[in-house]
């Protein structure tokens, strides 16, 4: 027994399989993480090396250059960048996706171990695998509730007590702290005491470093024990620091307390943050790649609420919620789910227009939820997330899923019409399309193989679409082959009346009505009701009003039933109608009696209930037990009430009857009229659909005959169709883009103040920004009503949207972000931020709107300037920025490292002779300068506790602080020679411009310019911008700065590489499809005709993209849109497969002539083709038309699919038959070809006048039955 027969005869097995799919699908759905985008991993390793007190030049020479030489030859290494700054060097190694990160990690560690000869005090390099390029998901802000307690001094508490709690949350990858100052122990030297005790600064540094350390001496075995030896010298309190012996001379002991004092203080303030109206310390949560963003955000929110209520009030602190991704993710997912639901509804509506039968419609619609829910199992199995990319893949698969259901259903019903053996005809119908359906499924899946294994970020995005769509199509294949036929067979077995047409359901004659179960039920009901009311005593206060209300309500009820009665006649429900009526009546009476009990409690309920329920027992015994139980409960709860209650109850029911009965009668009349009108219009509508179907099918078949009547006309048609589509594709192919420009409600601005500004000046700029923004903050009372009021009195452009959240941060650079209350008005904040920056003197800036794919590079372009001379690099960077601003005024340009971070420097060039004369060297002189200015870090000390977090930095400083640059030169120091000398006499001082960071790219000094072309022009794709920059900027500047290497990198290189990979993937998809079809058909000939549908779909996809860009919204040819052309390869060939497959069956099995086989195949497949095309188009249409959060991601892909399916589907109806008739099979005899006078024969007229598959009287009209 074949599997098809097994499922047809064992329908319980089908139901169990469907239940299993739904069960495990919902379980998987609960476990799949929710994210905005798929996991985008960029294998990167970062190496951090700390050298306290070293300048950036020392870090570059002694650390970075050495490490880069050892790491440059690592396998799979794609790029090597580094940054040198004061006290630290950072190297970033980016690897290709195929690299084994565990092996690479070991290689990096081994290479670093080979390096020897690091300078003293250089700490061991720290290696971190930072492969996930993930944006911050949650911004939190710690604020002080006590004005006497500055928030900036709470950094240690937040870092030690609060941050670990957030780090413990599942899914948190990193917690970043910004702002505040850490606690330090400052040792203040007294220069006079140093001279008096003949002690130098170098001696104090040496004494403290020598003392403050623990030294392990190994282990010793003695007898039966093992002892660990350790020398403990580490400071455990500040008193031990003061009692450090500095020098012993002539029996005199000089301790640190004799020359210095110590106190608890804070480090120098280097940053300043403002959130809304308050100073703050920001806490930024970065998730892991596998984190469920929605669950993570909820857990962070719950912890924040707990801290604000239980922990932080004790410290007069509070954490305010800032910006998170939850709202955008929920909006994007909701928008996509709504589009999917609407697309499914439209597709089902189209099916109903074709089928006009709810049974067939339900059978096809059953495939959709089973396929979609089953897809969740695959997503969970492959460890994917539920995001807008995977949901888009599911939505695109819906159209293909419906296609499979249509083909199988049409074939089964057509075969059932020919045979009385239901099981055999059903199995034969499945087998007829099994080959074509398998070919369609396997080719659709095959085209996803090359795109799943694409490299770079785009490949990781494509994988989610490929897995989701392929899974849905595979599940739909098995559902359509095994489960759908069994359900259809079961339904046919239940409905023997399915053979009759819609006309058979019209109401019968009056004589039939009198003998119908409906009439008998009405007569019995009214008879027993009348008998009951006659038996009631006249003294009963309810008799009159209740009898009137009851008779009129029953009359209206049966009038309504009479209107709807034809729905019950000649159906399986006709025998159950009396019981159904009583089932409807009984709850009404029960509720009536219960409400009566509330107001009138002295009525003979026992008599009423018993007599009425006796009547009910005559009709339905199964309900007797429950009704009697309800009656007994009602009787037992009855109490005696006064006559006043009786009268009030009587008045109540009379009043209710007077209002309710006319309304019920009016509603019933309107409903009756509507149903009669609907029935009449429905018949007219069906007739109109049949006429439209006949007209269109006739035109299509006549057009096909015109294109295929002679060999010459066939050749002209083939060349015309292919030539026009290929020519249009070549002419209309647009410039390409990298990633979709989906934008979030997050405006961020980077400011470039003049170089060398102090922190106070930067704070003044931040305060100025806050003063301009504060009037428009929601927390300050600015609302949308305020905005509308402003728009009435002023220019609309000058009225700022409500700002929901604002944050500005000052450090080495200045940046701030804005979040709009209404996401639709976020773009207006861009102009507001630009105007605000323009009002700040001598400050420029870049304003960006965060894109969905900002972690993957978005649409930015990198220009790398590499050379050896830093000053020359800076000049080239400024000149490049100037040219860019001149050529592209609205282009956003950001320089890394920022030239605004450069400071004026006082560079002290030591006089070696003067140093030697006074017993100093360059190292000791540098230590003296460091102590006098910033202070020298000498390690750490316990501040009085025993926990690790109680350690604080120990800093050696001069007693005089806040020196001016001139004061530093005249600072007096005690030299080992015994003289007190001025610092300026030991060196030559030069006032120079220094830099804050040195960047390397591929071992060369480098400055990076990041360009954001989002606001350049409305329709500027990335490829067009790159070409313009190459011709107008890079080429002229390369000539001007011949010693500087200027080249594009980042997304520019990724785009060119990806275009090649996608072109290869497209070609590979075509080859895979061709080879699969050749294997299935056993021929290399006919699959070639099928592949010719691809250029038709390509031109249609370009046409759809053009129309969407002009009529709906800006749409470039980004990489996700390019994916649509690859998907079309597997989708558009389905129509050609159906036509060729059926033509071969007609020719080989039904012994038709080749001409008749081709025409009959096209004729019988019109209905499936048009149903598939229209359902696919309408299922995808909401994704293209409706704008919303994240819609930019899949709009272009949907446009390409819609255009390709429409153009390819329509033209293939004419092209494929023409190709087939030009190349008949070898078994076809020449005499079987069409005669020249075929158009004049009666046979041709009969054939062309036949009703096609588009109308209900066609051979495929079984679909409507």
Looking at mean pLDDT, say which of 556-570, 730-744, 784-798, 805-819 comes out highest: 805-819
Average pLDDT on 849-863 reads 69
Residue 782 falls within a domain, yes or no?
A: yes
Which of 114-118, 161-165, 987-991 comes out lowest in average pLDDT? 987-991
Q: For the CA atoms of 671, 672, 674, 675, what is the dihedral angle to 10 degrees?
A: 110
Confidence of residue 299 (pLDDT cuts 50, 70, 90): very high
Of the ranges 151-160, 502-511, 554-563, which one carries the lowest mean pLDDT score?
A: 502-511
Contacts of 501 (CB under 8 A, 6+ apart): 1265
DSSP state of 310: I
pLDDT of residue 818: 92
Within this chain, do residues 1197 and 1097 fall inside the same structural domain, yes or no? yes
**pLDDT for 452 beyond 80:** no
Number of domains in the chain: 6
Q: 228 CB contacts (<8 Å, ≥6 apart)?
A: 216, 218, 219
Q: Calculate the CA 230 to chain-centre distance.
A: 56
Using alpha carbons only, how large is the chain's radius of gyration in Å?
42
Dihedral sign (CA 1204, 1206, 1207, 1208): positive
Q: Which long-range contacts (CB under 8 A, 24 or more apart) does 1148-1152 make?
A: 1148/1227
Q: What three-state secondary structure class fits 1021?
A: coil
1081 within 8 A of 1057, measured Cβ to Cβ: no
Quick check: is 883 in a domain? no
Q: Residue 847: inside a domain, yes or no?
A: yes
- The sign of the torsion formed by the CA atoms of 961, 966, 969, 973 equals negative
Q: Residue 386 has what DSSP assignment?
A: B
Task: Work out the mean pLDDT of the chain and round it to a whole number.
Answer: 75
Cα dist from 1047 to 41, 489, 752, 789, 867, whole Å = 25, 67, 24, 51, 12
Is 50 exceeded by the pLDDT of residue 588? Answer: no
Q: What pLDDT, on the 0 to 100 scale, is given for residue 808?
A: 93
Give the pair of three-digit tokens for residue 794.
Answer: 């002023």
Domain identity same for 283 and 159: yes
Pairing, β 951-958 against β 1004-1012? unpaired
Q: What is the pLDDT of residue 18?
A: 86
Q: For residue 902, how many other CB atoms are within 10 A of its CB? A: 18
**CATH number for position 81:** 3.30.70.1430
pLDDT given at position 533? 63
Query: How far apart (Å, rounded) are the C-alpha atoms in residues 662 and 189?
Result: 101
Q: Under 8 Å CB-to-CB from 367, ≥6 apart: which residues?
A: 401, 402, 404, 405, 476, 479, 480, 484
Same domain for 338 and 391, yes or no, is yes
pLDDT given for residue 612 in this prediction: 46
d(CA 64, CA 78): 18
* Nearest alpha carbon to residue 128 among 30, 48, 18: 48
User: For position 643, what pLDDT does the model report?
Assistant: 47
Query: Per-residue pLDDT averaged across 245-252, rounded?
Result: 85
Residue 506 has pLDDT above 50, yes or no: no
Does 829 map to a domain? yes
317 in Cβ contact with 152 (< 8 Å): no
CA atoms within 13 A on the CB side of 529: 20
**Cα separation of 908 and 905, whole Å?**
9
Instruction: Say whether both 1224 and 1100 belong to one domain.
Output: yes
Which has the higher per-residue pLDDT, 421 or 384? 384
Q: Are residues 121 and 27 located together in one domain of the fold? A: no
Cross-strand pairs, 47: 91, 127
Greater confidence (448 vs 225) lies with 225
Phi-psi region of 746 (alpha: psi -120 to 50; beta: other; left: phi over 0): beta
Nearest Cα to Cα of residue 318 among 286, 281, 284, 287: 281
- C-alpha distances out from residue 99 to 94, 133, 1003, 1051, 1128, Å: 10, 17, 22, 21, 32
DSSP class of residue 1187 equals -
Reply yes or no on whether the pLDDT at 600 is more than 90: no
121-163 pLDDT, tens digit each: 788 888 876 554 567 889 999 999 888 888 888 888 898 889 9
Q: Identify whether the C-beta of residue 703 lies closer than 8 Å to the C-beta of residue 1166.
A: no
At residue 1242's C-alpha, the angle toward residues 1241 and 1248, to 5°, is: 95
Same-domain pairing of 336 and 462: yes
- Say whether pLDDT at 40 is over 90: no
Higher-pLDDT residue of 694, 275: 275
Predicted local confidence at residue 143, as pLDDT: 92
Domain hosting residue 1188, numbered range:
3-33+330-492+699-736+1057-1264
Kindly state whether residues 232 and 292 are assigned to the same domain: no
Tell me what pLDDT residue 809 has: 92
Q: Let me know whether 370 and 253 are in one domain.
A: no
Interatomic CA distance for residues 851 and 1173, integer angstroms: 34
Distance of CA 861 to the CA centre of its chain: 23
How is 147-166 classified by DSSP, letter by letter? TTS-GGGGHHHIIIIIHHHH
CATH code, 241:
3.30.2090.10
- Per-residue model confidence (pLDDT) at position 504: 34
**Cβ of 976: how many Cβ atoms within 10 Å?**
15
Q: Among 324, 350, 370, which residue terminates a domain?
A: 324
Higher pLDDT, 196 or 419: 196
**Total residue length of the chain:** 1265
Report whether 379 contacts 468 (CB < 8 A): yes
In-domain check, residue 230:
yes
Cis peptide preceding 1102, ω within 30 of 0: no
Residues 1135 and 1232 in one domain: yes
- Residues with Cβ within 8 Å of residue 283, at least 6 apart in sequence: 139, 140, 141, 142, 158, 162, 163, 166, 175, 176, 177, 319
Distance CA 721, CA 1215 (A): 7
Element (H, E) at 940: strand 936-942
pLDDT at 445 > cutoff 70:
yes
Domain end, chosen from 111, 129, 147, is at 129
- Most confidently modeled of 609-623, 758-772, 856-870? 758-772
pLDDT number for residue 796:
59
Tell me how far apart the alpha carbons of residues 1085 and 819 are, in angstroms, rounded to a whole number. 60
- pLDDT at site 543: 59
Q: Which of 527, 524, 520 is nearest to 565 (CA)?
A: 520
Q: Are residues 1204 and 1126 in the same domain?
A: yes
513: in domain: no
- Per-residue pLDDT at 1237 exceeds 80: no
pLDDT at 956 over 80: yes
Q: How many CB atoms lie within 10 A of CB 880?
A: 25
Mean pLDDT on 331-356: 79
Q: Residue 1191: is it exposed, middle or buried by C-beta count within 10 angstroms (0-12/13-18/19+)?
A: buried
Confidence class for position 536, pLDDT limits 50, 70, 90: low
HSE-up (13 A, CA, CB side) for residue 144: 15
The predicted pLDDT at position 983 comes to 80
Q: Is the dihedral of CA 1179, 1181, 1185, 1187 positive or negative?
A: positive
Domain-located, residue 1000: no
Find, among 1187, 179, 137, the residue nearest to 746 by Cα.
137
- The C-alpha atoms of residue 810 and residue 179 are separated, in whole angstroms, by 9
CA dist., res. 1146 & res. 1153, Å (int) = 8
> Any idea which of 341-345, 491-495, 1074-1078, 1101-1105 has the lowest mean pLDDT?
491-495
pLDDT score of 831: 85
- Asked whether residue 856 is domain-assigned, the answer is no
Q: What is the 3-state secondary structure (H, E, C) of 1101-1124?
A: HHHHHHHHHHHCCCCCECHHHHHH
1170 and 1089 assigned to the same domain: yes
Banded pLDDT at 280 (limits 50, 70, 90): very high
Residue 1223: is its pLDDT beyond 50? yes
- CATH classification at residue 365: 1.20.1640.10
% of the chain exceeding 70 in pLDDT: 75
Tokens 């095309």 found at: 1173
Token look-up 């509804």 returns 345
For the stretch 644-685, pLDDT in tens is 444 555 555 555 555 555 666 666 676 667 666 766 776 777
Looking at residues 306-325, what average pLDDT do you find? 90
- 1101 has pLDDT over 60: yes
Q: Where are the alpha helices (DSSP H) in 782-822?
A: 784-793
* 550 — pLDDT class (breaks 50, 70, 90): low
| Co-location of 334 and 320 in the same domain | no
Predicted structure pTM score: 0.68
């Amino acid at each position: 027994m074949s599997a098809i027969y097994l499922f047809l005869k064992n329908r319980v097995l089908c139901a169990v399989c469907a239940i299993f799919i739904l069960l495990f699908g919902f379980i998987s759905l609960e476990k799949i993480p929710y994210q905005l985008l798929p996991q985008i991993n960029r294998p990167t390793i970062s190496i951090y090396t700390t050298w306290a007190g070293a300048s950036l030049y020392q870090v570059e020479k002694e650390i970075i250059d050495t490490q880069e030489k050892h790491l440059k030859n690592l396998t799979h290494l794609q790029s090597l960048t580094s940054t040198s700054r004061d006290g630290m060097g950072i190297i970033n190694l980016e690897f290709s996706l195929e690299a084994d990160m565990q092996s690479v990690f070991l290689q990096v560690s081994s290479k670093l171990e080979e390096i020897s000869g690091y300078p003293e005090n250089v700490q061991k390099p720290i290696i971190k695998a930072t492969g996930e390029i993930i944006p911050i998901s949650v911004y939190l802000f710690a604020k002080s509730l006590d004005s006497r307690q500055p928030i900036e001094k709470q950094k240690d508490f937040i870092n030690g007590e609060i941050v670990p709690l957030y780090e413990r949350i599942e899914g948190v990858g990193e917690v970043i702290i910004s702002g505040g100052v850490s606690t330090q122990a400052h040792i203040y030297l007294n220069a006079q005491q140093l001279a008096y005790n003949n002690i130098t600064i170098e001696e104090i540094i040496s004494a403290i470093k020598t003392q403050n350390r623990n030294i392990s001496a190994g282990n010793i075995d003695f007898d039966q024990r093992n002892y660990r030896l350790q020398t403990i010298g580490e400071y455990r309190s500040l008193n031990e620091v003061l009692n450090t012996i500095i020098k012993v001379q002539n029996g005199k002991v000089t301790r640190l307390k004799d020359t210095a004092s110590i106190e608890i203080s804070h480090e120098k303030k280097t940053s300043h943050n403002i959130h809304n109206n308050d100073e703050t310390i920001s806490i930024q949560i970065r998730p892991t790649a596998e984190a469920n963003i929605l669950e993570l955000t909820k857990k962070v929110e719950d912890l924040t609420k707990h801290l604000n209520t239980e922990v932080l009030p004790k410290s007069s602190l509070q954490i305010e919620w800032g910006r998170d991704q939850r709202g955008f993710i929920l909006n994007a997912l909701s928008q996509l789910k709504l589009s999917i639901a609407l697309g499914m509804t439209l597709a089902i509506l189209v099916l109903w227009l074709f089928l006009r039968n709810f049974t067939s419609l339900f059978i096809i619609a059953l495939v959709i939820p089973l396929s979609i829910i089953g897809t969740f199992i695959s997503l969970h199995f492959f460890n994917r997330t539920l995001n807008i990319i995977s949901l888009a893949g599911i939505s695109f698969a819906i159209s293909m899923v419906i296609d499979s259901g249509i083909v199988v259903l049409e074939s089964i019903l057509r075969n059932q019409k020919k045979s009385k053996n239901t099981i055999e005809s059903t199995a034969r119908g499945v087998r007829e399309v099994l080959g074509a359906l398998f070919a369609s499924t396997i080719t659709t899946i095959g085209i996803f193989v090359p795109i799943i294994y694409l490299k770079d970020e785009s490949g990781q995005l494509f994988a989610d679409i490929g897995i989701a769509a392929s899974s849905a199509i595979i599940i739909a294949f098995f559902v359509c082959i095994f489960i759908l036929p069994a359900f259809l067979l079961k339904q046919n077995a239940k409905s023997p009346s399915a053979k009759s047409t819609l006309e058979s359901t019209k109401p019968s004659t009056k004589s039939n009505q009198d003998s119908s179960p409906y009439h008998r039920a009405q007569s019995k009901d009214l008879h027993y009701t009348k008998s009951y009311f006659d038996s009631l005593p006249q003294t009963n206060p309810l008799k009159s009003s209740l009898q009137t209300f009851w008779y009129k309500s029953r009359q209206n009820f049966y009038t309504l039933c009479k209107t709807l009665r034809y729905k019950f006649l000649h159906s399986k429900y006709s025998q159950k109608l009396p019981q159904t009526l009583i089932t409807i009546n009984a709850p009404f009476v029960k509720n009536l009696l219960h409400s009566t009990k509330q107001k009138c409690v002295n009525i003979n309920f026992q008599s009423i209930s018993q007599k009425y329920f006796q009547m009910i027992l005559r009709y339905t015994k199964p309900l007797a037990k429950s009704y009697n139980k309800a009656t007994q409960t009602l009787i037992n709860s009855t109490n005696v009430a006064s006559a006043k209650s009786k009268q009030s109850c009587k008045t109540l029911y009379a009043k209710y009857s007077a209002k309710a009965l006319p309304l019920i009668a009016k509603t019933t009349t309107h409903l009756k009229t509507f149903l009669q009108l609907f029935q009449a219009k429905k018949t007219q509508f069906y007739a109109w659909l049949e006429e439209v179907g006949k007209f269109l099918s006739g035109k299509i078949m006549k057009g096909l005959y015109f294109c295929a009547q002679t060999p010459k006309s066939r050749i002209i048609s083939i060349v015309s169709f292919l030539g026009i589509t290929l020519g249009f594709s070549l002419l209309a192919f647009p410039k390409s883009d990298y990633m979709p420009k989906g934008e979030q409600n997050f405006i961020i601005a980077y400011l470039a103040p003049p170089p060398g500004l102090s922190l106070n000046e930067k704070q003044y700029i931040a305060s100025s920004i806050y003063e301009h923004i504060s009037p428009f903050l929601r927390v300050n009372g600015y609302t949308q009503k305020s905005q509308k009021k402003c728009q009435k009195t002023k220019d609309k452009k000058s009225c700022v949207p409500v700002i929901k959240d604002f944050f500005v941060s000052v450090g080495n650079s200045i940046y701030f972000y804005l979040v709009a209350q209404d996401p639709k008005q976020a773009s207006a904040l861009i102009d507001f931020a630009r105007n605000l920056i323009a009002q700040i003197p001598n400050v420029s800036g870049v304003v960006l709107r965060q894109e969905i794919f900002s972690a993957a590079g978005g649409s930015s372009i990198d220009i790398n300037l590499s050379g050896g001379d830093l000053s020359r690099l800076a000049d080239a960077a400024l000149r490049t920025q100037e040219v860019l601003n001149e050529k592209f005024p609205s282009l956003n340009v950001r320089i890394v490292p920022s030239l605004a971070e450069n400071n004026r420097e006082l560079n002290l060039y030591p006089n070696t002779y003067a140093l030697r004369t006074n017993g100093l060297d360059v190292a000791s002189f540098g230590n003296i300068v460091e102590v006098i200015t910033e202070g020298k870090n000498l390690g750490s000390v316990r501040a009085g506790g025993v926990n690790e977090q109680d350690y604080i930095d120990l800093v050696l400083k001069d007693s005089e602080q806040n020196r001016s640059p001139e004061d530093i030169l005249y600072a007096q120091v005690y030299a080992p020679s015994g003289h007190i000398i001025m610092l300026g006499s030991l060196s030559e001082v030069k006032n120079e411009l220094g830099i804050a960071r040195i960047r390397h790219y591929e071992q060369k000094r480098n400055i990076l310019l990041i360009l954001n072309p989002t606001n350049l022009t409305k329709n500027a794709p990335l490829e067009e911008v790159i070409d313009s920059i190459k011709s107008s900027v890079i080429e002229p500047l390369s000539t001007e700065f011949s010693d500087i290497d200027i080249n594009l990198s980042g997304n520019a290189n990724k785009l060119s590489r990806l275009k090649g990979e996608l072109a290869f993937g497209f070609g590979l998809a075509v080859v895979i499809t061709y080879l699969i079809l050749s294997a299935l058909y056993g021929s290399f000939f006919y699959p070639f005709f099928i592949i010719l549908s691809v250029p038709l779909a390509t031109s249609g996809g370009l046409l759809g993209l053009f129309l969407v860009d002009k009529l709906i919204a800006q749409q470039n040819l980004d990489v996700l849109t390019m994916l649509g052309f690859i998907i079309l390869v597997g989708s558009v060939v389905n129509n050609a497969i159906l036509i060729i497959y059926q033509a071969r069956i007609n020719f080989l099995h039904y012994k038709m002539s080749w001409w008749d086989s081709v025409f009959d195949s096209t004729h019988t497949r019109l209905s499936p083709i048009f149903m598939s095309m229209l359902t696919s188009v309408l299922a995808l249409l909401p994704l293209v038309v409706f704008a919303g959060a994240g819609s930019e991601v899949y709009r272009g892909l949907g446009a390409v699919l819609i255009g390709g399916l429409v153009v390819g589907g329509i033209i293939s109806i004419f092209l494929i038959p023409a190709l087939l008739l030009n190349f008949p099979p070898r078994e076809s005899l020449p005499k079987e070809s069409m005669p020249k006078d075929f158009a004049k024969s009666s046979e041709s007229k009969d054939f062309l006048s036949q009703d096609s598959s588009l109308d209900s009287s066609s051979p495929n009209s079984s679909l409507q039955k």
